[in-house]
Amino acid sequence: MSKKTEIAADEKIEKMYSETELQEIISKHQKEIAEIKQTHVKMDLSFQWYIPRSPINKNQLFGQACSSDGITVKSFVAQWLEHFKQNNALYDLKKDSVISEAKKYAMRPIIIAGSGPSLRRNGMFLKQRGEIPLVSCLHNYAYFEDMGIKPDYYVNLDAQALTIDEVTNSGSKSAEYYWDSTKDKVLVTAVHCNPELHKKWKGKILWYQTIIPDNHAMQQFAEITGGFDMFFQCGGNALGSCLYLARAVLGGGSIGFVGADFSFSYDKKFHPFDSDYDKKFDGVMACTDVFGNRVYTWQSYFNFKCWFEYQSMGGEGNNPQMFVNCTEGGILGAYPEGNIISIPQMTLVNFINLYSMHLNFDHCIEKKMLLF
């Protein structure tokens, strides 16, 4: 609408109503907005205060995070081994190990992206991240393509066939369009992942292996290639693989988390796009999010949250970490008592600005302004 059109519209309104009538209309509107009805839920979207440590101690966090490992291994190890054999026959896993990326972004901040619903709120800012590298879970592929977001790496962990559809079903274009667009993208994938997905990927593929809490299974894996030794400790989830890639391989310093909700949103969405997960809102447990509000999740995703909190406390090696949760929602680091101090909460825009202030330096010198 042009400025002239806006002025004409304002003049028309003034002719229709007297100033007293306009004030009454505005007051009525404001009253209706302010009125809290039974169907309304009041939400405070200010981050909770910090607490010095998790109400669950470090050993308990690890135990909770690993509580389903035995069932997972027993259910899928045969499939993992078969996929490993097929991938080993089709690709030179050792030659194309992700170790080739070692120290590429040493001592720099890196953003890692899960597929949580909070990406609807702040995902668009990833296009304005400057030179901060981005490592994303593969499930975001079509969603990020539609938004014009270009991660430096996509990471895959899941061996199930559904992963293939998840590459494309979050977008608005055809599956063929998205698979063709992979020709200039880098996929970091586990050796046990689905070979059919790898066949569809047209860009560069780099390989890693996860540590399986089963000595017999690990021995079988070792016998396939004669010892593929690029291992990730990932906590059984794709974002964990993103973290290991960012911290241990690429050498990142501070790690900004986005899309790391590990819970449903207030409107019961599990991803920033429509998915079958949204139709499975059952068997859930209540949790507290980073704002102190009630949300819901599954036990498996609560376990993932515990794994990252365990890592924020140093993990098995008691190594210092610098995690910043820029998700702006979800349950990472959050408890009813408050947010744990080992995972500071921050907006994504502020995290990016931490490492972008120098970009304004020349402008400030020219205008004789101070940066802060």
Residue 363: band (very low, low, confident or very high) from pLDDT cuts 50, 70, 90: low
In angstroms, the CA 356 to CA 59 distance is 38
In angstroms, the CA 101 to CA 98 distance is 6
In angstroms, the CA 369 to CA 358 distance is 13
Give me the count of residues in the chain.
372
The whole-number average pLDDT for the span 183-211 is 97
Q: At what angle do helices 299-312 and 58-65 cross, to 10 degrees?
A: 140
Residue 141: name the closest of 168, 173, 117, 112 by CA. 168
Residue 231: name the closest of 220, 223, 241, 239 by CA. 241
Beta carbons of 282 and 273 less than 8 angstroms apart: no
Strands 285-288 and 110-113: unpaired
**pLDDT tens, residue by residue, 268-287:** 999 999 888 888 888 999 99
The amino acid at residue 143 is: Y
Strand ordering across the sheet containing 255-258 = 231-232, 204-210, 186-190, 153-156, 134-137, 110-113, 255-258, 323-325
Q: Tell me: pLDDT of 57 over 60.
A: yes
Residue 126: name the closest of 311, 365, 327 by CA. 327
pLDDT of residue 227: 77
The whole-number average pLDDT for the span 99-108 is 96
pLDDT of residue 7: 45
CB-count burial class (<10 Å; 0-12, 13-18, 19+) for 27: exposed
Residue 211: band (very low, low, confident or very high) from pLDDT cuts 50, 70, 90: confident
Q: From the CB of residue 144, how many other CB atoms can be counted at a distance below 10 Å? A: 24
Residue 348: band (very low, low, confident or very high) from pLDDT cuts 50, 70, 90: very high
The whole-number average pLDDT for the span 97-113 is 97
In 6-93, where do the E strands start and end? 50-51
Strands 134-137 and 153-156: parallel
pTM of the full predicted structure?
Answer: 0.86
Beta carbons of 276 and 309 less than 8 angstroms apart: no
Q: Both tokens of residue 143?
A: 């969603």
What rounded mean pLDDT belongs to the chain? 89
pLDDT of residue 36: 56
φ, ψ of residue 195 to 5 degrees: the values are: -60, -30
In angstroms, the CA 312 to CA 58 distance is 10
**pLDDT tens, residue by residue, 71-91:** 888 889 999 999 999 999 999
pLDDT of residue 70: 85
**pLDDT tens, residue by residue, 1-45:** 444 444 444 444 445 566 676 677 666 666 665 555 555 555 678
